[in-house]
């Protein structure tokens, strides 16, 4: 499943770029997430808890930055996690592109490839877009602060 989000953020492109390159900052901006760098500073481990209707599901996993283009302000990362008490896994690849829009504003485009596999997780796919929208909105607000 592919999700697209675009926003104009009230922050300079360089400020947002530095924040996107720090996975611990990125995780702190995403509700329910935590991440820790691996020694190579390209890979990370983390956890996230997501509410799927009345049920909260916790995931643990790992990821890495695949592409960091400082000139074009484009970054791609991938992550894979497993639910603590269920079978299956979630894989996602996120591409973020920043473009300056005036002195203190930046356009941000996010494209997320999301794959939910396993017992019960495939049933959550139809709700994923509805669930993702408010989470991404909160993430973007926190990222711009």
In this prediction, what percent of the chain has a pLDDT beyond 70? 90
The sheet carrying 89-100 orders its strands as 2-9, 106-117, 89-100, 74-83, 55-69, 43-52, 33-37
Q: Model-level pTM?
A: 0.86
Mean pLDDT over each residue of the chain, to the nearest integer: 88
The Cα 6–Cα 140 span in angstroms is 10
Structure tokens at 59: 């995931």
- The model's pLDDT over 74-114, given as tens digits with 9 standing for 90+, comes to 999 999 999 877 777 889 999 999 999 988 999 999 999 98
Let me know: does 99 contact 73? Beta carbons within 8 Å. Answer: yes
Q: Taking 70 as the threshold, does the pLDDT of residue 119 lie above it? A: no
Q: Taking 60 as the threshold, does the pLDDT of residue 143 lie above it? A: yes
Task: Please tell me the predicted confidence (pLDDT) of residue 32.
Answer: 86
């Amino acid at each position: 499943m592919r999700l697209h989000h675009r926003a104009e953020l009230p922050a300079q492109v360089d400020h947002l770029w530095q924040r996107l390159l720090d996975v611990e900052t990125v995780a702190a901006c995403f509700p329910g997430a935590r991440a820790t760098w691996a020694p190579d500073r390209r890979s990370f481990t983390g956890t996230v808890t997501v509410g799927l209707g009345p049920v909260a599901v916790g995931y643990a996993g790992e990821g890495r930055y695949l592409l960091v283009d400082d000139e074009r302000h484009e970054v791609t990362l991938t992550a894979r996690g497993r639910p603590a008490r269920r079978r299956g896994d979630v894989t996602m690849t996120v591409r973020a592109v920043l473009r300056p829009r005036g002195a203190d504003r930046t356009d941000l485009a996010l494209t997320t490839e999301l794959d939910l596999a396993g017992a019960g997780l495939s049933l959550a796919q139809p709700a994923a877009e509805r669930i993702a929208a408010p989470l991404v909105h909160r993430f973007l607000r926190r990222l711009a602060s």
